[in-house]
Amino acid sequence: MENLSPKPYRLIPFPKDTSGNLLALAKARPAGLDRYKASHYTGKIALQLNVHTATTVLSGITVLGSDIAAKIPKDSLVKTAISRSDQLIIPGSSLKGSVRSIHEAITRSCICKISRNYKLNKQQVKIKVPEGYRECSPQNKDIRDRNVELCPSCQVFGAINCEGIVSFSDAICTQKTAIKFVPSLYQPHLEKEDYYSNVKENVVGGRKFYYHFTNSIHEGEKGINTQLAVSESCFVGSLQFVNLTKAQLGGLLVALGQDQNHQFALKVGTGKPIGMGSLTVDISEMEIWTRSGAGNIDNDIVPHLRDRYTRYTLPESNQLTGEPLKQFMQQMIQAAHRELIQEPQLKQLAEVLKFPTDRAAPSGVY
Amino acid sequence: MHKRFVNHCTIELTISPCGPILIKSGKEGADPTKPDMEFVETYHQGGKSIYLPGSSLKGAIRAHAERIVRTVGSDKPSSKGVWANDPLNDKRDYLSNKSAPEIYKLSCFTDQMFGSTEIASRVRIEDAYPVNRAQLKIEERNGVAIDRVFGSVAVGPFNYQVCTAGDFKTKIHLKNFTLAQLGLIGLVLRDLNDGWFGLGFAKSRGMGTVTVQYDSATVQYPGCVLESGQIKAIATSQQWPHTMLLGAGEFLDATEAGNYGFPKPDHQETPVAAAAMPLGFGVQLVWTGQIQVADLFERSVKAWSRLLGVAA
Ligand SMILES: [Zn+2]
């Protein structure tokens, strides 16, 4: 039996042309890491993640309450979050996963990770992906021969045998951790019809994203105390990138919710159906280098890699900040809209991930 | 030239993770009670300890050196400027039936430094061991991949072991080096410290970034003596001021240097003065601490830049 509250998520359908046919993946050669390429950008973005609802990435370890906090009853159990020196951490891998899944949905990218089958009435049911949308999985040999094409997300975030060209550092919480009750969540039901565009054939119809809610739910019959970062705390991290084109850098910024016309928050960590893990991203600093040819308009604000590699001591500040940074980001985002972004998908996703929101977290069965 | 030993540089440094790092051990997932991916371990100073194998450090340093050379130079054989091959796919036909000096001269900049099937490496990097095992922080992480359609776990959880804090000491040795080679090592180490590349596993998940602290650098000229404030080559009676950083080409006559393609002149003035080596053989210059070693690299990078045609 389903509960009556609306579903906490929505499926973003795969991109289609005007007559309703699926668009093919926009495959191209990955840039590679063997050199810094001309007319590409390499650098680092400082990320501030503002916590709006309780957020945690669990360590997988459960301890006795008395071991981590005096206020928790001695014999009660607490699920711990990943932390370092008592500061909570969002591992780079979690942040990357969250941004990547957005990027996949708003570009013509493969279905990167999906379960192969599920059991129904003791029968294995095979799950199918639409024609041509299977995960890019280049062979090692093809990578060596530089003879490989990948979808937009795999080009940037990496694929099997092919390293990505962006990397997310661990983000570290600047405030004290808290402990709150988190109700138990049910596993998604893979047989639910609304996951499929062709129910009879078990062909999946889109990518699942949870809505943001005004609050997260911390009560219920079953559940466990959990270590987490409360709203209004903040995590600090960074993102390193190598050899991104304008459109790729713009696409990454859009996926981080930085498009002024499509601002949204990320969902990270555990408890997404009950409103947890809502984070907005602030970017106030970017270090950026290029090896551009003549006539490139950003030559005067973006330093040249040749200068980096002909001197040992670098100028004090290579950071782009303030208005120049804003303009630069908008330039990149415009390029992404021209070359990369699927507008209907971005529009729908921005609606699901809209923040702030007035949706209240659903109660009852999750 | 191959049998002679004209100069040598040892850089002592401390590497410290700034986030999780993992240098994987070969064995995977055999013991179900252990993480799927474990850090390499060895016996060191009477106990078992994780460490950073010199071979992985060298691999990462070489890859970044190649990246720099290809960025400012070429990836194809080039008689002017620098170039770096694709070490795994280069069949090195251009070296067949060539003499030893020609093989060195025709090899690319990074093969000359790090070695190839045809020439020995001039760079050696020692295994990096923890300064204090008790200060190491080792955590277990678990990775999951979230199913994009259903939101459930599609892959995992797989566990891996990471080191997130500690200091590892190592030494980089350069033998018969040119100043440009030393300069390139300096640029690579600067970039490692700046997080431009990482060590070990899952770099695209943000792992492997470290800081690099220079402890000291020692440059030795084994065939020289110190005589009335001058560095003097015993065999050739060449001499230089006692504050001179000397590349390999300086010790060769013009013909031999030309045959191998060693730059000559190849020297830089330095604030550090030479001293006699212990036991009376050879002369050495010692740079101590972060600031002095950085100054050594600053000066070496000038030689590197000159090679690229950039006036220093
Ligand atoms: Zn793909």
Sign of CA dihedral A222, A224, A229, A232: positive
Q: Are B222 and B281 in contact (CB under 8 A)?
A: yes
Which residues of chain A does B146 touch, with a Cβ-Cβ cutoff of 8 Å? Answer: 97, 101, 113
ipTM of the complex: 0.92
**pLDDT band (50, 70, 90) for residue A2:** very low
Q: How far is the CA of A26 from the centre of ligand 1 (A)?
A: 9
**B12 contact A CB<8A:** no
pLDDT given at position A209: 96
Q: How far is the CA of A35 from the centre of ligand 1 (A)?
A: 22
Q: How far is the CA of A95 from the centre of ligand 1 (A)?
A: 18
**B209 contact A CB<8A:** yes
Residues A325-357 have pLDDT tens digits of: 999 999 999 999 999 999 999 999 999 999 999
Query: What's the half-sphere exposure (Cβ side, CA atoms, 13 Å) at B225?
Result: 9
**pLDDT band (50, 70, 90) for residue A76:** confident
Q: Are B150 and B199 in contact (CB under 8 A)?
A: no
Identity of the residue in A97, A114, A168 whose CB atom sits nearest the CB atom of B149: A114
Q: How far A311 CA sits from the closest chain B CA (Å)?
A: 6
Which residues of chain A does B149 touch, with a Cβ-Cβ cutoff of 8 Å? Answer: 11, 111, 114-115, 127, 195, 204, 206-208
A-interface mutation test, from B150, B201, B306, most A Cβ less than 10 A away: B150
Which residues of chain B does A240 touch, with a Cβ-Cβ cutoff of 8 Å? Answer: 195-196, 206
Listed range (A64-78, A184-198, B82-96, B270-284) with the worst mean pLDDT: A64-78
- B59 to A65, A323, B42: CA distances (angstroms): 45, 41, 19
Sign of CA dihedral B300, B303, B307, B308: positive
Q: Are B24 and B202 in contact (CB under 8 A)?
A: no
Residues A120-158 have pLDDT tens digits of: 888 888 889 999 999 999 888 887 777 899 999 999 999
**pLDDT band (50, 70, 90) for residue A293:** low
Extract the runs of DSSP E, i.e. beta strands, from A211-277: 223-228, 234-244, 266-267
> Which of residues 241 through 280 in chain A touch B, CB cutoff 8 A?
272
Cross-strand partners of B155: B145
Higher pLDDT, A364 or B163: B163
Q: How far A331 CA sits from the closest chain B CA (Å)?
A: 25
Share of chain A above pLDDT 70, in %: 94
**B206 contact A CB<8A:** yes
pLDDT given at position A365: 54
Which residues of chain A does B183 touch, with a Cβ-Cβ cutoff of 8 Å? Answer: 312
Q: What is the mean pLDDT of chain A?
A: 90
What's A270's DSSP letter?
A: S
Which residues of chain B does A9 touch, with a Cβ-Cβ cutoff of 8 Å? Answer: 151
Q: Is the pLDDT of residue A167 over 50?
A: yes
Per the CB < 8 Å rule, is B203 touching A157?
A: no
What's B19's DSSP letter?
A: S
DSSP H/E element including A19: none
Which residues of chain B does A33 touch, with a Cβ-Cβ cutoff of 8 Å? Answer: 67
Residues A26-58 have pLDDT tens digits of: 999 999 899 999 889 999 999 999 999 999 999
Q: How far A209 CA sits from the closest chain B CA (Å)?
A: 8
State chain B's maximal CA–CA distance in angstroms. 80
Which portions of chain B are predicted below pLDDT 70?
Answer: 1-2, 27-34, 311-312
What's at A82, amino acid-wise?
I
Q: How far B204 CA sits from the closest chain A CA (Å)?
A: 4
- Residue A271: closest C-alpha in chain B: B151
Q: How far is the CA of A101 from the centre of ligand 1 (A)?
A: 11
> Which of residues 144 through 163 in chain A touch B, CB cutoff 8 A?
144, 157-158, 163
- Residue A267: closest C-alpha in chain B: B151
Q: Work out the number of other CB atoms within 10 angstroms of the CB of residue A5.
A: 13
Distance CA A277, CA A359 (A): 15
Q: Is the pLDDT of residue A185 over 90?
A: no
**pLDDT band (50, 70, 90) for residue A3:** very low
Per the CB < 8 Å rule, is A60 touching B187?
A: no
| pTM of structure | 0.93
Distance CA B130, CA B49 (A): 8
**B310 contact A CB<8A:** yes
Higher pLDDT, A364 or B194: B194
Identity of the residue in A187, A195, A306 whose CB atom sits nearest the CB atom of B149: A195
